[in-house]
Structure 1
């Protein structure tokens, strides 16, 4: 192979690396645009962490494209670094797409409006539903399902607020309830009029709610007095440690927290835990955010499911409140 030929193959591979960087940067911009265009409501009304994530991704993608466009020739070391960066970038973009939230739909959006029955306030980290009259000493702290806009639960939880109980809906960073494990303690500190908390959650949020309830059911002030699962179950055995009252609400058509999984969770909960199955309800019907991959097909309407879930949840809260 002649000297010119010896340089041709490396130069071509280095040129290809540059074009891959350009393509990766362009893909990053497209993923950010796709997330914003398709789920903008969930992006701007969720915890700001994902919005910051998108901004960083867009900026890094533009820089990556510029580096690829300008750097057609690379040393071997730079080529290796570039290949590693591409691999990491692909993983980052996959995570960016996966973290795209499920935006709240009606009637949850209407339930977010304040009126003479309840006041709704929203901050970057939580949604608070406050009764119009004097609030009862028992409040409800709710952890949303993974990647679900917290507003999606406003309609199903609002009847609890209208009945006289403060309801706090967390907005976990990146939509992952495990990243908001300290949110209950923050609410316990700020809402001093609440003397006891019913900790609740949907799907992954329910699993995190179980951890929080188990840790705070013996607290000297504002303890967790109840635990409410929305299509969820605990990740560990709480049958001996948990003293808070428990309600497990599930759907017979749930394709994610299936009836079999809910039944198996009995062994991990106190013997007096109450189990209520909403016949025909699916996983996504515990909120208002549209269809969810892997879910079952409901045989009742969203309104029917929401009415039954709200009624059972409110009855449980009232029983615990005494």
Structure 2
């Protein structure tokens, strides 16, 4: 493990919901929400810091009208069974504000070796048990089964979104049952909005951990954690333990506000785990936080406790220019 690993932060400015994936080709692949919410970009580099200056390639743009025409949010790039997939959320252009935030999940596929050069094919909407607000799909494999974890509003449960898990028959199709893992219930999960969203998965020390984000996207935004044994039935809600306190949150002292919507990757040594997240460097926001563009991508080392659980620590201060 790297004992001293420092990165320039923010790593990439005005990129929220950051996702960094290190592939077997040695490259890091990065995608995130852009401030305009109108396109999907990918960039790649052989180093984490190289992503800062790597040229972004637009692989898909929103439609002028219809189901994928507004608020393109939180893309993730995955490599599953020899092909590339991007999961993202999109709303539709309507005459009502509600329509702009009535998101569904969608999937793109690319079979090229380099996803920045290949053609991306729309695989359509990722259907779940309900036609309701849904977003932030992520996917992981465990013991030969591919799983999807995502956020969705249950029409029968008050609030904005809960977290669900299901097995997959292919990278764009879930198979039953659809199981709820967590809903907003603690004080820190219900500030501004009742939200559990932005799940990310890391497997280590005989356990599977799912981090997620909660509350409104201002300085109240923070992260929670679910954990299960690697031998447990992941589709049984009883297999999962939920932290009663946030594991990562605003640091007034370090000038980092609303950290969340994270992903995990590994450092260049292939051993040191890294936490990727967005945060703002100021607390007060004019207007709707979703339209403030300064949620910047940041990366720092993820530590581990003696009991094998992740220690997220606190968001580190911005790097000062020498």
Same fold (TM over 0.5): no
Q: Quick check: which one's strand share is greater? A: 2
Q: Quick check: which one's helix share is greater? A: 1
TM-score normalised according to structure 2 size: 0.26
Higher relative contact order (CA 8 A, sep 6+): 2
